[in-house]
Every structure is written in structure tokens, then in C-alpha cells.
Amino acid sequence: MRFKRITNLLSAAAQPHFSGFCRRTGAAALFFLAMSACLIWGSAPDVQAEEAKDEVVVTMPPSSEPSSGFDPAYGWGAGEHVHEPLIQSTLVRTTKDLGIENDLATEYGCSEDGLTWTVKIRDDVKFTDGEPLTASDVAFTYNNCRDVSSVNDFTMLKEAVAVDDTTVEFHMNEPYSIWPYTMAVVGIVPEHAYDENYGQNPIGSGRYIMKQWDKGQQIIFEANPDYYGEAPKMKKVTVLLMEEDAALAAAMSGQVDVAHTAASYSDMEISGYSLFSVESVDNRGFNLPAVEPEEIDGVTYGNAFMADVNVRRAINLAIDRDEMIQNVLNGHGSAAYSICDKMPWYNDEAVTEYDLDAAKQLMDEAGWVEGEDGIREKDGVKAAFTLMFSSGDSVRQALAEDTANQLKELGIEVTTEGVGWDTAYTRAQSDALVWGWGAHTPMELYNIYHTLDDGFAEYSPYTNETVDSYMDQALQATSLEESYELWKKAQWDGTTGITQEGDIPWIWLCNVDHLYFVRDGLKVADQKIHPHGHGWSIVNNVDEWEWE
């Protein structure tokens, strides 16, 4: 009952009126909430001391709650915030260095033409209702995702076929070398127990069973006693859905074991807790519409100022990323130079050192002359652009403002503007927008830079046939390792690409460390580099956590 009561109180605290109060009054408001909780339940309770040493309570932002339930077809596991699905098993999974290892699979391979993937699976796995998991369930899961998924692209899959109880074949419409990264996040569902309500009461074969879901408040998982792998050390995992203010207050009052937090709170000291930082590829950057403007169906694509490659290169050189990370992230981040920093397919030729003098020289050579007000001009046109950020996102706003301040030193006037996502995607075709990306798959690179049928990349107008060719070849490669080299060439091959000496159509600023306050005595297992999204990734290996 205690957790239900504290959840109700703190979820109320996360409502907009309280969040605004916290922003205005800061730590004092948090302290007041924490002390109020203590008065209700007695002096600051050490909850963990009263519990078994095989339970853990973790907070996550409300946006982590799967809106369509725990159904892989609608984004659970393989959605925007990629993570292991916990409830369901996957065919393979990613290792700490983003390699691939078997889970349900005992072996897998691809035909020479890249059109057939064959996977052999274990014969000793059961769903939590007691029914065996067979290749038929695997085929059903993938065919269902192909037919109904509203979140992920399965157009490369022609059909999944169960050859026998332990063999499944994936017949592809086209070669797709990075298929193992898809297999690592798609949880297998039971064909016999699947319907439109599956996501609300999921049956799986994974490490945990979802026992309770109080929407908007909490999700409780218990260890699957019949799990085929090593038994989870944590037998119960409670996820409380809270905004950062409420999560911090919950830690201050001793009600949680792991509380997600932001860089702005990282200097706070909470008795009985320490700050835990996880490296990420959760990057922030902004697009530069890299073509001359033209109107298509009432939408403007391109930007005359940003169409000049020397302007784009100068902007990239003029960003002091280390200074930005200190100012905006309180030091909790790393410089970003691409959308795939630290990944196996990352080309370190993307690294660019801050050099304001070189940036100014590029602008001079491009004919942009500094005016009396310090802002450069060319042919009567000001060196200026609008940099948008999503309204309500304080970090993206701060990054936009810091960018504006830094580029003023280069003689570029940047106007920042908060916008809603209802208009941001369209406006980003002609103006810059601060984005957040980062995933455990090279398709993130493809989705950002590859040309679509309309002649431009999806999120910002850009096209390069050579870059497209490398990425197409990467998907047709016969192995992941071979594909990595082609993804790297798409970034820079010595002549062209998307990095500084190439087209540089995006400017990458930083990778945001994911921060948590962790109760003393809890050993959180080593984490993989986190993808975009401050949510489920932290519990990818919660079964390995332990109390000391």
C-alpha cells in the first residue's frame, strides 16, 4: 500500500501546475514535497531496509509509458526509444559493445544473395501460460509486425515462414544486412494468445512478467520463474512514472531506489544516494537545409544562406562543444560529431576541432563580409537564420541559445524560436531545428541522410548520390562487419560524404549523459551505451542488478 500511496501523491506532483511551481521555486519546492512525504509516512523512511534484497523501485518519465501497451507491433522494445522488451524474448540481443549474441536463437545465417535469413531456436522455451514457444510464434510475430506496425519499418520483410518447430526463415524483399539489429528488439508473442488487447495483458517468455499496470502511475514486473536463462537476481521491479521534479522529490524522501534526473540537478547531494552517469548516443544537433529554396506543394524546401557549403562548414567549426556541454549539461555529456558516435559503424573522420579563426576565414572566402553591427552580409543579405527548438524542452532551448551566442562571434545572427511538433517537421525543411536522435542501428544514419523518392532526405532537404550508394551497398552486404565499412564511407570516403570536408548538412552538438540518483548499496550492472530516450534502457539488464 505504501508504494501505491506515494505513487498517487507524487504523480499528482508531476502535474503541470506543480511542475511550474518547481521551476519557479527550485530546490525549496522539492524539499517541501520530500518533507511532506516524510510527515505522511513518518521520518524519511529507508524503504529498502524494510524490503527483501531482491526488489528495486525505479522512476521513468511519463513519456516512457507505452501508449499502445506492451505489444512489439506497436513499438514496445523496438519503438522510438529502443530497448530490450523484458516481458518477451528476442531472437538475439546486443552486447555491451553493440555486437550480436544469441537469445532464443541457437544459430542464424543469411543466404549468399541476402534474401533469406535462417534462424534455429531453442526447443526448451515456454510462454508464461505454459504453452511452448515454437518457430510458428516467431513467424506470426514478424508477419504481424510487417502487416500492422505503426512505429517501425518492416517493408524489407516479404514473409516469415516456420519450416519446423525450431526453424524459421525470413524471406526478404531486398537484402538487409543489418537484420540482426531488428531481431534484437522484436519480442516474440504467442500466436495462440494474441488479439487486439494483447498489449494490455501481455504473455511472453522473457525474464519478467508484467503483474500490474496502473496507467499514468506505475508498472510492476515480477521475475518469470520459468525463464530459460539465468534466473533474475531482482525478483520484483516497480517502475514509477514521474517527471524529473517528482522523481527527485521521491529520492529525497527515500521512496525509490533509482531516480532519473537532469544535468541541472546533478550537483545536488541526497543522503543515501549517489549520482550514476551512463554514456549515450542520445545526441542533440540541428539540421541545415542544404539546397537552394524551392516551393513544392506549398512547402518551401531549402534555405539560401545554408545552401552555401562554406557557411555550413564555418558553422561546424565555430561551435565550441566542450564549452556548450559545461554551460548546458553541467559537464554531463560528450561532444557529438555524427549521429552514430561510438557505434561500430562510426567514422572518426567526423571529429572537428573548434577553430573560430578558420571559420571566419571560410566566411570571408565565401564573400560574407562583417557589417557595422558585427553581422556579416553578402549582396545585401544578412548572415542570419532561425533555430527552432521544441517548446517546453529546456535543454534544447539552452542548446539553441548557446549556439546563437557562439555563432554571433562568427558574425551570424541566430534567432531562436520555440515551436510545437505539429509544425516543426514542415518548417525544418527550410529552417534549422534542434533534434534528438540516437539508436543501436545504422538505419538511423540512413533515415537522416538517404534520399527519398521525392529527391530529398526525409527530415531536411539534402541529397548526395554517392552517399546514397554507400548506404544501399551497406544494406546489401553479406555480413554486418562488411556493412560497417560501407556505413563509414557514407560518412566520408576521402572525397565526399556528410562530414566537415564533405557536405555537412547537419551540425551535431553533444551526446547527453543519462543521469540517475541511485541508492547506496544497489549495484547497477554495467550499461550499454544508451540510445535516445531517458527511459527503459536503464533496466535492460535489471535482472543482473544486486544489493550489496
Q: Say if CB 470 and CB 490 are below 8 A apart.
A: yes
Q: What is the third-level CATH fold of 72-199?
A: D-Maltodextrin-Binding Protein; domain 2 (3.40.190)
CA–CA separation, 541 and 524 (whole Å): 9
Mean confidence (pLDDT) of the chain = 90
Q: What does CATH list as the number for 283-511?
A: 3.10.105.10
Check pLDDT > 90 for residue 8: no
2-65+215-277+514-547: CATH topology is D-Maltodextrin-Binding Protein; domain 2 (3.40.190)
> What is the 3 state secondary structure string of 371-426?
CCCCCEEECCEECEEEEEEECCCHHHHHHHHHHHHHHHCCCCEEEEEEECHHHHHH
Mean pLDDT of 198-223: 97
Count Cβ neighbours within 10 Å for each residue of 391-408 and write b for 16 or more, e otherwise.
Answer: eeeebbbbbbbbbbebbe
411 conformational bin, left if phi > 0, alpha if psi -120 to 50, beta if neither: left
- pLDDT tens per residue, range 300-335: 999 999 999 999 999 999 999 999 999 999 999 999
What's the pLDDT score for residue 38? 43
pLDDT reported for residue 370: 93
80 pLDDT band (50/70/90 cuts)?
low
- Phi then psi dihedrals of residue 360, to 5 deg: -65, -40
User: Rounded to two decimals, what is the model's pTM?
Assistant: 0.88
pLDDT at 10 over 60: no
pLDDT tops 80 at residue 422: yes
Structure confidence at residue 18 (pLDDT): 37
42 pLDDT higher than 90: no
Pairing of strands 236-241, 218-223: antiparallel
Instruction: Work out the percent of the chain whose per-residue pLDDT is above 70.
Output: 90
List, for residues 492-541, the tens digit of each pLDDT value: 999 999 999 999 999 999 999 999 999 999 999 999 999 998 889 999 99
Tens-digit pLDDT profile for residues 350-370: 999 999 999 999 999 999 999
Within the chain, all domains assigned CATH 3.10.105.10 are found at: 283-511
CA 461, CA 426: separation in Å to the nearest integer?
11
Phi, psi (rounded to 5 degrees) for 142: -70, -40
Residue-wise pLDDT tens digits, 249-288: 999 999 999 999 999 999 999 999 999 999 999 999 999 9
Q: Where in the chain is the domain with CATH 3.40.190.10?
A: 2-65+215-277+514-547, 72-199
